Structure formats: C-alpha cells, structure tokens
Structure 1
Amino acid sequence: ECLAKETLTNTDTKIDLSLRHVVESVGPERLAARITGEFRSYDIDRLVDPFEEPDDLLRKIIKKRKQQSRSPNARQFAAMVQRPSLAEAVSETHGTSAAARKHAKGVDSELNFHELPGNININAASMDELQALKGVTRERAAEIIAYREAHGEFKSIFELQHIPGINKTSFRRITGMTATTKQYHRRRRLSGLLAIEPDKITNLDLVAGQLVKKPGFSGCIISDSDGLVLAQHGTEKLCEEIAAIIPRMMRRIGEDMKLIGAGRVGTVSIAIDGVLYTIAASRTVALTAVHDEHHVSETDLAFIRKTQKELAWLLSLRAYVGPTS
C-alpha cells in the first residue's frame, strides 16, 4: 500500500523485504512452495541476525576479550553474591553436606547423592512441599507421607512405585525418570557420558571440567535461562558475555525457524573471533561447548545434545531420596 504503482510494475526496481515480513504476509506454506530446494537448506546467514546490534556487540565482546587478563571474573562473582541463585546453591551444597552423607559400601546408595536445594526430598518434605512436584495432588502427597511413616524413610526413589495411584506416567512426572524393574537411576546417564561418579554429578564445576577433557573441546559454559553462569571451564575471558546473550539468541533463532516451517533447533554453532562455539539450550539450562578446531562432527553434536538434556533433568524441579537430617 505504501509503494507507488509504477514502482511495482518496473522490473528493474529492487525491493528489500525482511524474511519475517514476507512470511507474515504470504504465510509459510505459500512461501515454501515458491522457494526452490536449494534455498531450503536454511542457511543461518539468510535469517534475521539474533543480535539486535550485531556489529557493535561483537566488537565490544572481542575488544573486551583481548583486554581481559586471566584473573578470576570479579563481576561474575559479585553478581552471584548479590543474587542468590542455583549456582550459589550448588556451591553451598558441596561445601556443607559432605560430612552429613557417609559413603556407602557396595552399590551406590541414593541417600549419598548430593542434590540441589531446590529439589524435593521426599523423606523430609511436608505436605505443601510435596504438592510443588508435578502431578502430586494433596491426596497423593498424603499417601507419600503415610507410606513414609509406615515403612520408614525411602531408600530409593523407585519405592514411589509401591504407592497406590502412582503409575508409570505420574512417576515420570514426579522424578523425570522412567519406571522400570531395573531401577536404573538417571544420574548414571550423565555419569557415563562424562566419567563422573553418580554421587558427584551435581558438582557443575566438575561436570564442566570433565567435558573439556573430551577430545575436540577446549572450553565449556553451563548457564541458566537468565544468562547467569552456573559453571565454566577454560572460558574465563568470555563466559559471562556468551552466557548473557544465549537466551535471546536462541529465542530469536527459534522464532525465525518457526516462520519458515523448520523444526525445533537442537544446537547452534557460531564463530566469534575465530573460535567456534556450539550451544544446546532448553528453557532451564544452556550448555555451550568451545571447540579446539574450526569444525564440529556429528558425534560431537550428539554428545553435546545428550549432555545438555541430562543437565536439564538434573537442574529441574523433581523428587529425590535424601537423608532426613
């Protein structure tokens, strides 16, 4: 409506329109039907840049990276002190609970697992606390407490299956794990991926350090949905800046991919100042891996996705079995 008729009829006229406006005008189906297969490769360079001010922002990041020393990041530490967070809770947990949890002989005991304070210990939780879990009504919370009082403290999270009304579906909602007769605790997935003992996987600094030991990786950042660094290894100079822009970047890329009818974005690789980063993110946690080369293999991508998925479970609100004191 804003263009003159002569402009539209002149074949020599060049009109630049954003992809977002075109899709919103004609619809993704009609647009996809008119685009050749060659252009359906969804080259990320053809999409809207996820940074609002890419040139200025990247220049600032690169400049700061060159100027920073290898000393500890004081601003990051100050931010964590001012804002109680999951990162602070993780540090406190590993600093104070070791003496209270004795190492069990033989098979791993869930009572020895370090857990994050935000999760729900079904051996000590009240009625209201239990209802904070997905799928736990007041009636179900009362049944859990009644079972606990009748049989003593839970020794395994899989004992929840003995409670009437808790089926495989509700067990998965409460714990984030699959109810099986083998009672395979999900901690063992991350333990196997990173060669960490199951009772230590909530030590996110250890997780980051183990990931960097894998061939092809030189750094790692674990951050939350607000862009706050939870743990890092080998990325002292740039971790805070990268973590801060991840939520906005992944959100914008996801929105653009939906506009062109593409599926969910699993990972995104981006080069900054000659360094290749791969990011896998969910609504709660992002894992950023730094590669020591300028390419990434399908095996590396699969490993990053699996590790991020298990971190998302680890940091989710869920039930666990812990000591009563």
Structure 2
Amino acid sequence: MRGWQIDTLGHPARLVTLPDRDPARGEARVDIAACGLNFADLLMAEGKYQDRPALPFVPGLELAGTVADLGPDTAGPAAGTRVAIYAGHGGLAERGCFPVDSLIPIPDSMTLAEAAGFQIAYGTSHLALEYKARLQKGETLLVLGAAGGVGLTAVEIGKRMGARVIACARGAEKLQIARAAGADEVIDSDHPDLKGALKALGGVDVVYDPVGGDAFDAALRATRPDGRILAIGFASGTVPQVPANILLVKNITVIGFWWGGYLAFAPQVLRDSLATLMRWYDEGGLRPHISHRLPLERLPEGLELLRSRAATGKVVIETA
C-alpha cells in the first residue's frame, strides 16, 4: 500500500510503499478514504508537537474510512461500517490498523471527506467553548484565526450557543467566509489597532485564540472583567507571554486547551462531546467547510496551504 512516511524530523515526508499487516487483537483494519490535515501535522514533522511518535512514522492525525476486518477475538463495528478515527498518526496511507475503541461510526448523511476533518476542528471548539470557557448565551465571543480549520468551527458553534460572535481573519474573502458561518461582526487581522477596534465593539467576554502573538496581546487588553481567554494554539509562531498583572486587575482567566489530551485523562468527556456534535450534524446544524480536497500524492501542496495560511476551513487528503 502507498503511504507517506517521516524518517527524520525536520525533513519532508516521503511517499513510499508500506507493508500491510493484519490487525492484532483489539484492532480493526480500515481502508482509509480521507485524512484531514491540521497545523499539528506541520509541528509533528518538525518534532515541535507535544505528541511525538517514534520514528519512522506515518503522519496524519485524523481520518475516515471503512472497516475491512477485525483482529482475533475482537468485537467492533462490522466490516463495511464507515468510521471516523482520531489516530494521532497513521492517517496518510491507504490502509491502517487502529484500536477498535477509537472508531466512531458516522451518520449516513456525512461524507467520508467531511468525517476526516470533523473530529479535531469541531471537537476542539465544542469542548473549549462549552466545557472549559462555559460560554453563555448573550456573551461576546472573539474568534482569532476565524477562517482557519478550528477557528471557523468556533464561529459556528459559538453562534449556535447563543453568543455574539466577532470574527478576526485576514482579507475580505476570509472575513466573508466567517460571516457566512455566523459571525455578527468581522475585523481584518491586519487592522492597525485591533485592541481599539474590539473596544469600539464593546469588548469581549471570551477569546478563542489558535493564533497567539500580537493578536493575543490585543485581545487580552480588550477582554472585559471576569473574561476568559482560551489558548488553543500558536499558528503565528509566537507563544504569548501573559502579563499576570492584567489578569489580576481584570479578574481574567487564561485557559490552556489541547483536545487530544483528553484521550489520556478524560476520554469520556471527549466521546460525549463528539456524540453531541455528530447529532448536531445529522440534524443539519453544522456545515463543515472544506476549501481543498487533494489526492494522496499532493500532500506537500496541502501542507503548504496550512503553512502559508492560504486555506479556509479544512484541507483534506483523499486516498480513495
């Protein structure tokens, strides 16, 4: 089977022929149809992500496909069942073996391409906004990087939760995409005075920040007393240094959030969130946005779309 493999950190992945293997006990072999790309794929390839698989490894954190067969003495979804999987790695290949408890059957109404890019983006925004920040109806939510993979879902979910949503993204096209997802107000991230623009809109109660850098600093200073700031990621490349005096004076809480970490210490919280999100999708309440669907051999192009921040919503690599 074909698949991408990283042999050395900091060097590009190679498209190679990989050995196929039978699933072990507790595993399912899955014919992979699509893999959603994430900014974490870039970091993992450089050894800069918190999860570091042993070399060599097949990248690709999340995927969707069809169950081919199960390992010996293993109960799980029947062959032919369409599933989504958060694997951590292994998604950028034509087949793979994964623990059966990581398989999530997907609704008939959901395409495999949508399922491949659904779990991390929607799961991150739902758990972060509802479980961690306790976003309330009527509060003002600021979403930085609002046209990106996770940012766009935060706009959509924040609006569904009854918040007034301010979306911050670069350029008129991305701002229009954020507005179509439900944003009430939009601000270009190149605005010369982001703090002033946010204060002119009345300030914010909750900040959803997958960007970091200067945008975090501006958002902090526009956050109202008793506000909450979600540190989701650092796509700008700069990790903010938080001035604790501002937190103290304004009673602001900064909340770190890593969706994948819940698999280790609170997996049921994550599963319950995904069950809710799958139901919302099946009811027609969520509309995943995929800006690019590329074949397996064009993975480098897909990664460059993330690196250059040229994509909106999700980039999906299709293997079948």
Which TM class, normalised by the smaller chain length? under 0.3
Higher relative contact order (CA 8 A, sep 6+): 1
**Greater strand proportion:** 2
State which structure, 1 or 2, has the greater radius of gyration over its C-alpha atoms: 1
Q: Scaled by the length of structure 1, what TM-score is found?
A: 0.27
**Greater helix proportion:** 1
Q: Scaled by the length of structure 2, what TM-score is found?
A: 0.28
